[in-house]
């Protein structure tokens, strides 16, 4: 797969963990795409999404190592409360938490079973409409 270095795109990457964000920056630098990504340490609750159309991709904690089930359920409820109203956005979530759709409070348009290492995960896909073509 080739990278189009001349494409006019804006990518915003955030994580609550400075360590995780540093790893993302290093990976972007290795791929040669760090110049089109704005990195920021931030909680998803603090995100302000100003565009009418966009794509949100998230790999939230699963509860496997980082926190207990109650914390994960609470976080997924907050994700749904924050992002379900973004009808013109496409949203994608990768998690092993089998009850994700229940706590996110929305059935995915599609889900795919994948593996993150040996851990079975699902990739939940919520499709928004294509943005209008620019003149």
| Domain at 55-135, CATH homologous superfamily | Vaccinia Virus protein VP39 (3.40.50.150)
Q: 135 falls in which pLDDT band (50, 70, 90)? A: low
Q: What is the pLDDT of residues 49-95, one digit of tens each?
A: 877 888 899 988 876 655 678 888 999 999 999 999 999 999 999 99
> Once rounded to an integer, what is the mean pLDDT over residues 99-119?
95
Residue 129 is given by DSSP the state P
Question: What pTM value is reported for the model?
Answer: 0.84
Task: Say if residues 39 and 16 touch (Cβ distance below 8 Å).
Answer: no
Compute the 3-state secondary structure of the chain and give helix, strand, coil in percent, each to the nearest 5.
30, 25, 45
- For residue 51, the cross-strand partners are none
Record the tokens describing residue 66, joined without a space.
Answer: 């980082």
Residue 88 is given by DSSP the state T
Residues 6+ apart with CB under 8 A from 81: 105
What are the residue ranges of helices labelled H in 44-115? Answer: 69-83, 100-104
The pLDDT value recorded for residue 61 is: 80
What are the residue boundaries of the structural domains of the chain, listed by start? 9-42, 55-135
Record the tokens describing residue 89, joined without a space.
Answer: 């956005």
The pLDDT value recorded for residue 12 is: 87
């Amino acid at each position: 797969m080739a990278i189009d270095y001349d494409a006019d795109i804006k990518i915003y990457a955030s994580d609550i963990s400075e360590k995780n964000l540093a790893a993302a920056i290093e990976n972007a630098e290795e791929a040669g795409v760090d110049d089109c990504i704005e990195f920021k340490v931030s909680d998803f609750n603090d995100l302000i999404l100003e565009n009418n159309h966009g794509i949100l991709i998230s790999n939230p904690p699963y509860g496997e190592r980082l926190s207990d089930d109650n914390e994960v359920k609470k976080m997924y409820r907050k994700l749904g409360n924050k992002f379900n109203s973004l009808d013109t956005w496409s949203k994608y979530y990768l998690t092993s938490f089998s009850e994700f759709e229940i706590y996110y409070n929305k059935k995915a348009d599609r889900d795919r079973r994948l593996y993150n290492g040996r851990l079975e995960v699902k990739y939940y896909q919520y499709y928004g409409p294509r943005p209008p073509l620019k003149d």
